[in-house]
Structure 1
Amino acid sequence: YNSAVLFFLSVFQQRIEIHKLRDGDNLILGFSIGGGIDQDSNSSQNPFSEDKTDKGIYVTRVSKGGPAEVAGLRMGDKIMQVNGWDMTMVTHDQARKKLTKKNEDVVRLLVTRKSLENAVRQSMMQH
């Protein structure tokens, strides 16, 4: 018999709710972002986008054990919305400000995530 292994990229949306960690006057999210419409697409800001014209906001780092990791955010996630605000056409600074609002303890994110899945297709051949 022969078996073919197929790899395909699936993109799916995920809703993630991060509860900020209060540290004195600071509210900690526990992740870093890259990208934005004002960023040079050739810069290393956005290592996760294959499409260099993609100016989206991406998660570039997630702190181990931090609020974002606990909530299920992953490196490489593309942030589509923050608390209902569209994040597909914002500058790096606008994105940062939306995420770090002082009066918001909870950040609700809509992200898209790529996952590599393999489908194993086996065909049995009778002789």
Structure 2
Amino acid sequence: MKVREFMTVQVISAKPTDTVEDVARMMSEIDSGAIPVIEDDVVVGMITDRDIVIRVVAERKDGFTPTSDVMTEGVESCLEDDDIVEAARRMAELQMRRLVVFNGDGKLSGIISLGDIAIEHQGDLATEALEEISQGA
């Protein structure tokens, strides 16, 4: 089974110049804790709800702080044609709960999360990956 069969395809993205307040609002509207940051059609980072808490709230920055100041630069990814088991193993190795998914042309095509995998695999594959992720935490 391929990643494309499980991934979330309707991905909302942010720009590096968007404020964290804007991004937090986006997260609330789409019920997601992670949004890729794109500049000139290239994924340059990811901003998560955890980034906002650790790098904005804890440091007493304001909501007008640009996303580029608090995002996690670079992304871990896979291809939509990758095997879902391999993607789950990669998440476990990297101790990550989600990967950005690119198509064959290198363009963002979705995001795959442990939740996406758990829904389809009755949790077995996701549970194994989550156990490995949690052991490193």
Q: TM-score, normalised by structure 1?
A: 0.27
Of structures 1 and 2, the larger Rg is shown by 1
**Structure with more of its chain in helix, by fraction:** 2
Please state which structure has a larger fraction of its residues in strand: 1
Q: Flag the structure with more relative contact order, 1 or 2, with Cα contacts below 8 A and sequence separation at least 6.
A: 1
Report the TM-score, using the length of structure 2 for normalisation.
0.26
